[in-house]
Chains A and B, each alone.
Chain A
Amino acid sequence: MVTEALPLQPITGSGPWRGLTGLTGAEVRRWLPWRALVMAAVGIGVLVLFFAIWRIAGAEAEGRLGVLMIPFFSLWAIALTLVTATAAQGAVAGEVDEGTAAWLMGMPIGRPAFIVSKVLGAVPGVLAAVFGAGLIAYPVFSYASSVEIRAFSARDILDTARMPIGSDGFMELPATSEYLGLLVRMSLFLLVLVALMVLLGAIFRSAGMVLGLGVVLAVGLFVVGVMDIAGVVDATPAGLISGLLDAVQAESAPLVGPVLVSLLWTFGLTGLAAVRFQRRDL
């Protein structure tokens, strides 16, 4: 068979972001409403548990917000980390394993768009879950501390120094702005975790391996954050955990630095995932 040869030339305009909007929309629908509801329900469940304990303690716990708030945030953060890691484990590894990634990449979709959509699409769900449960918890803390909810003020943002918690559990209710900052820290930590799971999914095919490694690394960040290891905390998302614990205990905790560091880590992990996924066989 004779066919006329065509001069070969490199293709241009490959559009790595093509399909980002559609994929992100689809991913948002995966997180909202059900995953977010489950995550929020976990928070509310933990709140109910510790509120019940606080109530049972009766007069001994009266006005001692620390007895309720510190255990709540500690367990909530750990539970949300596990739930988020489980929810995000299949974001890439699952799609590759089930063959849906091959279906998507057979259409005019850029591989970077696929990866970025996995992180972007998780943002509304994570925010809804953290702020949903967190904002339900705040009036409960107000009730427990016998302190009225303070109105938002610009001064609250600047004045991050709170009365330190005493060994007797007495502490002041965080101002709304500080409390929102606390929820922002929690949300950002979960988004870093999502990006980490996406990167692991771009490297490993087994969803079990992705989940296992993701949880181990997240726990490692927790430990670094709790131990407040200087230098490491400042340079990693562990600063969010460290700041979260400080803020819960109404101590001074910087917000801007850890937020920027965490955003950089989220971008970095997502970028690495995109590079790795670019050459992955599907």
Chain B
Amino acid sequence: MTTTGGPIIEVNGLYKRYGKVEALRGMDLMVPRGTVFGFLGPNGAGKSTTMKILMGLVNPTRGEAFLFGRDALHAGPAARSRIGYLPQDPEFHTDRTVREILKFAGRLYSGGMNPLTLRRRVDSLIERVGLVGKARRRVRALSGGERQRLGIAQALIGEPELLILDEPSAGLDPRGRREVIDLIDDVRQHTTVFYSTHILDDVQRVSDAVAVVGGGRMLAQGSIVEILGTPTDTYTAILRGEPDGLRGRVGNEPWVAGVETTQRGELEEWTVRLADESAADRLLPLLAGQKGCDVIEFHLSDRSLEDAYLEIVGDTHGE
């Protein structure tokens, strides 16, 4: 699926205040159609509030939001019939069974879908989310993880164009988490997936693009490659042997901001962050020029999404 056709979600200058708490402070967001889009940020950053506003569950204090190019704040059932939504901590009528919940939801989406087709779809989803054997169990008897699986199945029942998943892996064991990621990977062919999570490895594995939010506003948005960027101030060196005091000498150079070392067998991995990027050409000669020390590797450091995330989020925690 290509990303043409404009954004499927667009949010401009969204504010939301709960009493004295400002949950959103000018949130901007653009989710291209056809992408798997990770929505990242610390707790309280405004992820769930943004998703709830898009779903029409919460009214913004001010600002605008668009779904499928149309005003999301007055979208109503017509827009929601094209969306599958999994809230954080999904709640269902506890006196109904898994199958009843899915049939009820299916009828809301399917319109004229005949009962046999609906039953097949329900059976298929029950199997897909691993609830075979629990289909006749009442919701009140399900574990937290099983409810999460039911929520995912319910979000998929209408074969939506857009999936909005608020922490779909929460409460799941590692196997369940893997299954969610596989499921997102499966549906990406015909569905745009906008999901929030704290599991950055999963995001890096499956997402095309991410947005990092903090303190109720957008901090960074782009493709995974754009977000990771290429650090130009951090170098990794693999050394064999270490002359006395080398670490001190490197660390004391005015153009070095920090040194971290990790022992890996007989080798030692150094991560050196420079205070002055232009001093990079001085680092290798300094390391290689020491007697009793061989430089096995020397290159710019790779960054994980976690590194990039922590750098972007910085000190917005608790804002």
**Residues of A in contact with B (beta carbons under 8 Å apart):** 1, 3-16, 18-19, 22, 26, 98-100, 102-103, 105-110, 279, 281-282
Our pick among A6, A15, A98 for the contact of B91 (Cβ within 8 Å) is: A98
Question: By the criterion CB–CB under 8 Å, are B76 and A107 in contact?
Answer: no
Q: Which residues of chain A have C-beta atoms less than 8 A from B85's C-beta? A: 106-107
- Among B103-111, B130-138, B180-188, the stretch that binds chain A is B103-111
B222 touches A1 (CB 8 A): yes
What chain B residues lie within 8 Å of A99 (beta carbons)?
87, 89-91
Q: Is B70 part of the contact surface with A, judged by Cβ < 8 Å?
A: yes
Q: How many residues in B have their beta carbons less than 8 Å from beta carbons of A? A: 44
Most buried by A among B70, B71, B107, B226: B70
Any A CB within 8 A of the CB of B303: no
Give the chain A neighbours of B109 by CB distance below 8 A: 107-108
Contact assessment for A14 and B91 in the assembled complex, using a CB-CB cutoff below 8 Å: no
Give the residues in chain B near A6, CB-CB below 8 Å.
5-7, 69
A-B contact count (CB 8 A): 111
28 pairs of residues in contact across A and B, judged by CB atoms under 8 Å: A1-B221, A1-B223, A3-B3, A3-B6, A5-B7, A6-B7, A9-B69, A10-B70, A11-B70, A11-B75, A11-B76, A14-B75, A14-B77, A15-B78, A19-B77, A19-B108, A22-B104, A98-B91, A99-B87, A100-B91, A100-B92, A106-B57, A107-B108, A108-B109, A110-B76, A279-B59, A281-B57, A281-B59
User: CA of A6 to CA of B3 in the docked complex: distance in angstroms?
Assistant: 13
Considering the complex, give the chain A residue whose CB is closest to the CB of B67: A11
* CB-based contact A11/B79 at 8 Å: yes
Pick from B79, B91, B107, B158: contact of A102, CB under 8 Å: B91
**Per-residue A-contact encoding for B191-229, CB less than 8 Å = 1, 0 else:** 000000000000000000100000000000111001000
Besides A105-B56, A108-B108, 8 other CB < 8 A contacts? A4-B5, A8-B10, A8-B66, A11-B70, A18-B77, A106-B55, A110-B77, A282-B58
State which of A3, A5, A22, A103 has its C-beta within 8 Å of the C-beta of B92: A103
A281 to chain B: closest residue by CB:
B58
- Among all A-B residue pairs, the 4 with the closest Cβ atoms: A14-B76, A6-B6, A99-B91, A108-B81
Interface of chain B, main secondary structure: mixed
A205 to chain B, nearest CB (A): 13
Minimal Cβ-Cβ distance residue in A for B79: A11
Query: Given the complex, which residues of A lie within 8 Å of B104, measured CB to CB?
Result: 22, 26
**Complex alpha-carbon distance, A282 and B57, angstroms:** 5
Q: Collect the chain B residues with CB atoms within 8 Å of residue A26's CB.
A: 93, 104
Question: A102–B87 contact, CB under 8 A?
Answer: yes
Note all chain B residues with C-beta closer than 8 A to A98: 91
CB contacts (< 8 Å) of A4 on chain B: these are 4-6
Distance between Cα atoms of A13 and B70 in the complex (Å): 12
Chain B residue with the shortest CB-CB distance to A4: B6
* In the complex, chain A residues whose CB is within 8 Å of the CB of B168: none
Minimum distance in angstroms from B85 CB to a CB of chain A: 4
Chain B residues, CB < 8 A from A102: 52, 57, 87, 91
Query: Is B275 positioned at the interface, with any CB of A under 8 Å from its CB?
Result: no
**Which B residue's beta carbon lies closest to that of A12?**
B78
Q: Which of B92-145 contact A (CB under 8 A)?
A: 92-93, 104-105, 107-109
- Residue picked from B3, B56, B80, B158, most chain A C-beta under 10 Å: B80
> Contact: A8 with B69, CB < 8 Å?
yes
Residues of B within 8 A of A15 (CB): 76-78
- Are A8 and B71 interface neighbours, CB within 8 A? yes
Interfacial chain B residues near A11, Cβ < 8 Å: 70-71, 74-76, 78-79
Instruction: Say if the beta carbon of B30 comes within 8 Å of chain A.
Output: yes
Chain B residue with the shortest CB-CB distance to A7: B69
CA distance A18 to B77 in the complex (A): 7
- Whole-angstrom distance from the CB of A218 to the nearest CB of chain B? 27
- Interface of chain B residues 29 through 79 with chain A (CB within 8 A): 30, 32, 52, 55-59, 66, 69-71, 74-79
| Closest partner residue, chain A, to B31 (CB atom) | A3
B150 CB to nearest chain A CB (Å): 11
Contact, CB under 8 Å: A3 / B69: no
